[in-house]
Copies of this chain bind each other. A is one copy, B any other.
Amino acid sequence: MAVSTKSLKIHSNAENQMIDLTQETTDFIKKSGILKGIVTVFVSGSTGSIITIEYEPGLIKDFPEMLDRIIPRDLDYGHEQMWHDGNGHSHVKASLVGPSLTIPFMNGKLCLGRWQQIVFIELDTRGRNRDLILQIIGE
């Protein structure tokens, strides 16, 4: 049994951008030499999230639109009254969607469906440098 950790720095360009992390995660498992276990993909920060989704142009619009519908930008957020940084909706979205995803793998291969990718979504109001953690536990 072993733990293997990778710090992954990425850059997003704009609110609602989705970045596919599947290849990066696959490569990291291969490099670790660990054959079966779990990988946790985590975003350090309170305005981004990790999901699985079919990474295609339709859903890349649909998922953020859903979040905008249920958590609109222009409500009267307490966070805005305190800090005036215009991203109250970003925080609420990220807490609902969540910063962490744990995926099993077997024989060195992620147990994902064919149309299921691991994706970071930028929920802040502008592009940002992001610190992600990929951490494998297995044998």
A59 interface residue, CB < 8 Å from B?
Answer: yes
A27 interface residue, CB < 8 Å from B?
Answer: no
Task: Mark interface residues in A78-99 (1 if CB within 8 Å of B CB, else 0).
Answer: 1111110000100110111111
Task: Mark interface residues in A30-72 (1 if CB within 8 Å of B CB, else 0).
Answer: 0000001110101111100001111011111111001001110
List of 3 A-B pairs having minimum Cβ-Cβ separation, nearest first: A58-B78, A58-B79, A45-B113
Q: Which of B59, B71, B104 contacts A92 (CB 8 A)?
A: B59
Which residues of A come within 8 Å of B, CB atoms? 1-3, 5, 36-38, 40, 42-46, 51-54, 56-63, 66, 69-71, 77-83, 88, 91-92, 94-104, 106, 111-113, 115-116, 131, 133, 135, 137-139
